[in-house]
Structure 1
């Protein structure tokens, strides 16, 4: 029985077990979830609707009670004897004591009415007299509606239009002053003499109809006449929906559900044309229903997953012995196939290094590791030497490994003929190229393509490709490799990627990679006489001479190493602050330099470190220059890091040296000098304290005053006052 048949049989067994589980357990679970979804959620929705109705009913009852109370107070106000007495004596031409007393009593009644929690303003409008009375003043209509109760022309016309006919607490449209109620007196006449106007306090009315429940997003009092008397939290879209429902419906109460909100409307007991409206957030209101729905689906999904796991476990347990045998075979096969690549590279490396030179032995080893080759093929070894730069050294080891894996894949993919790759040394990769007689592709073509690929990695390393000897037998590959390695010695400077072919033919007769005895003695004498610039110039001249004569990189490196070694020997007796570790880092820096520019920069840096002209008063001169700089730039930021960097010192070393040379700490010296200049500004100018603080280098007034008081004992302002 094959593996595919076993897999199909096991899959059929799994579905058989899962079908039994579905019929016996999952079907009842699905029915229970559907019942919960239908019955429980419907019950929650009904409860939510009832709860919303109870809330809006409480709001309407509370608001209607407050309005009924206000209406009673307005009737009592108009029914008072003070208003009747005042109307009886209004026609008297002269002011008298009785009228003044009536006005005073009337204002007290208006003030009492205005103390109602829903009222913001109360006044009496006399129809047949040029008179308006409120709790503070009684005056003519023009003055009142201009200064005490200011209205523009349009608002005044709208307001005066309400003062006609019988009014029994009629409500006006909300305007600049909000909603108002108007009541006429005498009550049963169409030509009343007085109108009582009550302006509602909109904020108090909002607090009366507002609902603190989290699921209530807005409340309102809406009129079927097409306007909203007051609202809390309604959006424009919700307000339009409220007006649409209040105009088209006359039911006592209703509960309307849209896509996202629920709207509850209750008709007012106080006014038949009013509706109390609440807008509820369905997401919050129906949260229990959503949770119940989620639990039911999660319950169903849980049983579905459990059934799948149980069915899978049982089917796996039945075929576990067969599965273990199959997996063992697959694992062994994967290990063998995964190691074959490593074994092949190791085998090629052994051949190139000359450990396998017998054709019969090579053939037997190749059969053991399934390495296929043709004994009669013509091959050439290309040796690729890598010269790593700083960017490569900063990479992690896994990143370096992936980088070379990617490079090998590109070479294998883009090479015009089959190639074998292996790493013979940490810095050398060997590429065995098969010559294709049909396409006339040889080692030269492969080297050119590989050089193009290597140029893409120039940010990590420079590379040199050495073309070895072409051989027609696999046991002679080590000869081709040895020639390729020797050819790498012909590499020159200033090449990102260079191809070296055969023995180097160049003008090397007039070039010596080592210094002569005369050169060494001359350099020692120049060091003793402190002619340091000549030392550097000699090194640069020798480097330029080598570049002009087109000598190899290794020859120039030998010469540079000899020059650096001579420099170190010349100065090691004079300096005791250098050690072996320091000198080894200089040689490492020289070895990492891969171009003529890098070599020149390297010698410039090393020369600046090794040959520092130290005069007896050099340190004193340096600190004198620092003090001059501080005296000139005291109003700027003077960080200790800046001066320490100029002198190649650490911050602590600079601070100690400054105190030894100057006699004061660095921070205290700057502070005292700044205060010296600040006192000069205080006595000789009329600059403000903030300006003086900025001129002497302080960021703010407070830090300047704190430092001044620390050293002088008084504030800058007091110092100026005392000395002036």
Structure 2
């Protein structure tokens, strides 16, 4: 009982420390009680909110994992649709599809390799629209036989229906499948093929087992008692996490009502509390970013409140313990700690109270006494003044930094400059930014250590010694020095600024073989406008790609908008693409030189215009890659981004070299690929023409024999043979006619009929176009030579 009276007695003493300790400990006690009360009463709702947030995070993680998987499957299906054997099989006609069994064998092998290399895919097959065939990873089947005996689904689906329009990879639904006598539950996806045709010629199907999707969901739901499942737009459950307990069994039984509530809300994501059959559930749902699936997570509220009760009991015990400990600590602090504080104050009083007659209040507590001693030391102790003088350069640099960053107001400018003893003789400011070229400010640039900032300040002092201008410089990162120029607004004398900059450049080039690119902002009168000059100087530096490294760039000379744009025509783009495809590097180089000459011969272009030109050229390169049905990864390697690589080059010459190198690399890759494909096709074309040149040949008949569509064969014929189809046939016919003219006495009309011409007049006209003389003149000339 003596604790409270003793505490009040101490509190009434003069010491401010004792009073502060009392108030501090009182605050601690109130805080502990308030925290305990809030934790006790709000723990349940806070825990529910935390569990909901956690479930939301885990369900989004499950969604992102599955979306990423589906994106990879989408990419795989796209690659399958571009595969050459698959495309050839799709183009086969109704009359020739059963003649090329080796082609179907290649497609079966390819699908089998796809399935083996992608463990998620349980079944994969292609259904053709032109003829009643289904090809999967095992064999080729009649469509009716396949769906009746090889692959059966529950519920049943009309697989014969053909789509009249294209669509990307999309889910068909969940089915109980029986494939080769093995039953499983799977989600089926479909994509029409090929994309190059207006109407689909077939459809690619892939199956992924629901157990694989469930495993993805399970990995993120294991740490919490959450039950996660997925539904499509119709509300059908596609898959869910595994049933691990009776609680999960209960949740699994109420999926239908919960799905109905989520669909009724109609939002893409959200949270709700629902009571079903007397049981409360916390429900979180979100939507897929790539399809119409919804992911739903369910946690029983009872599981959360059970933990909240335990937290309440623990909080109550801790609050009581802290309350008791706080009371004991308050007594200890107020009764024990004051003694050493009192001794310290007394000691300061003995050695520091010099002036007994100093004016001040008659009653003084410890804080007032200490404050008076500090003031005395500050104004009387020379060591503190020396320390202040030593720190003046750092304070001035901090002031300049704050000024260019816009943290100094005009009304405070005079006060601050007086405090740090900085002389601003003029009323205006201009910012100059020196940017290093090929080195950093941390580099050693000579045999002796040099501070670049000190060197620039020294050169500035020499340049403006007799002029109405002051220069203050600071370092910005390791590649820029910012000089703040204080000038007279009425007579700024720009020639003096240029002279200062030239001296700095000349010194570093002469002494250290280093150079700077310099950007200069406009002149402004107020402190608030200094950041504008700084931003303008940085904007001027961006034009180094136009002006070149080591240039001095005023913002006024580069901010004028250009009346033209850097671009090239569609015809030029086609010529570039054709040059790359054909491997004509000389023509490609000439087209690029023409683009450089047309766009870069004038100096009134901006960095944005240059960036647009070169990004357009990169777009042309990517378009070329897509036209030859390849990817940047196949040509340049994995994770190679042409736009990112272009942005790594800052100089105009480097950008030009990069574009030329990119087109050259693509062209070389195309030619290497063509050598393998063209040799086989050329042999087939040559063999067929050699045996049938005397017949009425066309691209359609030739394409039918070698398994290619007429349009596709026409587009590649010249690349393979070096001439168009008509010239190739006529050349072979003329060569055979020359042989017959030399070796037989047949008439021109007979020879014309034997080599495949419709009439003698056509034969004579074609012969003269290719040989320069008529058939009769040729026979006469060769007859004379033989004589």
Range class of TM-score, shorter chain: 0.3 to 0.5
TM-score by length of 1: 0.34
**Which protein has the larger Cα radius of gyration, Structure 1 or Structure 2?**
1
